[in-house]
């Protein structure tokens, strides 16, 4: 389905872009493909102090959920830390992760084209992207079920909208469907060197219309954003949407990504630098992890701790559980 929509009010400016994007280190650049130096994730992450505060709040809410109580205000920050930190106080009961594929997430596809009808991805690319997404999450509880067809919207301002822009807000408020547990994917051409960005589960209550992920059409399978054209940008951003941080969140100190079995990582890795150990007191960087910045051909896994973390986050903030 294609709709011609009115021009959005504004396009993203540099001042509107998140200021917490992780930049490449010199050593990472040495391992990078030329295209990898500037294509980054635009998901806004909190600083260490805010992440620790939100982690404590999250652990409190999770405990309430597991004890069968209605959480008081299940929302509020712009992302919960995902890394190995504790929240203080009594820990929630032990988590039992549901079986693979037992949580079905209704998924809506919104392809944003120019006002002249030039689109960032074909139907076949979108369909293959859903297959890549489900393959990446096949060992997790999540299965992504596309709802309806592939909807296309002709609007040049939305086509180039960046994170935090008025155009993004208008696009999402006009198009988003479903509730807190439903995934909206916006396929566009944002520019600015961004492969995509996402919202965290904890952000839903305060900004439900903003919920979802935005991905560069050229990053879908068969796109031209080599070496990021295997579909793993969508996997990475869905990881954020389920509550995961980058593996390099917090660098070598502090709570990191609040996942105990992901080694601390000083800064984003690029290319596929196997054997890199950026934090001396930690095991080698997991350059194969979907939540780093390595090439699509390099990343292929989530850790067990990340799967548990995603389930706890999505249970608490998105009310997602096994059917």
What residue spans define the domains of the chain?
Answer: 2-10+38-261+299-318
Quote the pTM value. 0.85
pLDDT at 87: 35
To the query of whether residue 237 is one of the catalytic residues in this protein, the response is yes
pLDDT at 57: 95
Beta bridge partner(s), residue 4: 154
- Burial of 46-74, coded b for 16+ CB within 10 Å and e otherwise, reads bebeebbebbebbbbbbbbbeeeeeeeeb
CB 24 within 8 A of CB 278: no
Tell me yes or no: is domain 2-10+38-261+299-318 CATH 1.10.3470.
Answer: no
pLDDT at 20: 33
β 213-216/142-154 pair status = unpaired
The three-state secondary structure class of 57 is: helix
pLDDT at 58: 96
Tell me which of 55, 237, 308, 312 is the catalytic residue. Answer: 237
Q: Which helix (H) or strand (E) holds 240?
A: helix 232-241
Q: Which residues of the chain have pLDDT under 70?
A: 1-39, 69-90
pLDDT at 90: 63
């Amino acid at each position: 389905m294609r709709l011609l929509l009115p021009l959005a009010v504004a396009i993203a400016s540099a001042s509107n872009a998140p200021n917490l994007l992780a930049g490449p280190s010199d050593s990472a650049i040495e391992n990078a493909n030329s295209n990898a130096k500037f294509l980054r994730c635009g998901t806004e992450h909190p600083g260490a102090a805010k992440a620790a505060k939100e982690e404590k709040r999250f652990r409190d809410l999770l405990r309430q959920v597991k004890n069968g109580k209605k959480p008081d205000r299940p929302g509020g920050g712009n992302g919960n830390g995902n890394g190995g930190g504790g929240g203080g106080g009594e820990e929630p009961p032990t988590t039992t992760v549901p079986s693979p594929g037992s949580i079905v997430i209704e998924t809506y596809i919104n392809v944003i084209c120019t006002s002249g009808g030039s689109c960032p991805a074909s139907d076949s690319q979108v369909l293959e992207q859903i297959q890549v997404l489900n393959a990446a999450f096949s060992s997790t509880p999540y299965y992504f079920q596309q709802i309806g067809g592939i909807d296309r919207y002709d609007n040049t301002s939305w086509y180039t909208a960046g994170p935090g822009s008025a155009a993004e807000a208008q696009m999402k408020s006009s198009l988003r469907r479903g509730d807190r547990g439903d995934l909206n994917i916006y396929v566009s051409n944002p520019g600015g060197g961004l492969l995509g960005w996402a919202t965290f589960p904890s952000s839903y209550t305060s900004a439900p219309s903003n919920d979802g992920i935005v991905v560069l059409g050229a990053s879908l399978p068969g796109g031209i954003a080599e070496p990021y054209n295997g579909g793993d940008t969508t996997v990475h951003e869905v990881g954020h949407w389920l509550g995961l941080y980058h593996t390099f969140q917090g660098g070598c100190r502090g709570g990191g990504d609040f996942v105990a079995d992901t080694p601390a990582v000083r800064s984003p890795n690029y290319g596929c630098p196997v054997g890199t150990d950026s934090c001396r007191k930690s095991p080698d960087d997991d350059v194969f992890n979907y939540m780093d910045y390595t090439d699509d051909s390099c990343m292929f896994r989530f850790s067990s701790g990340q799967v548990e973390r995603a389930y706890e986050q999505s249970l608490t903030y998105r009310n997602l559980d096994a059917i």
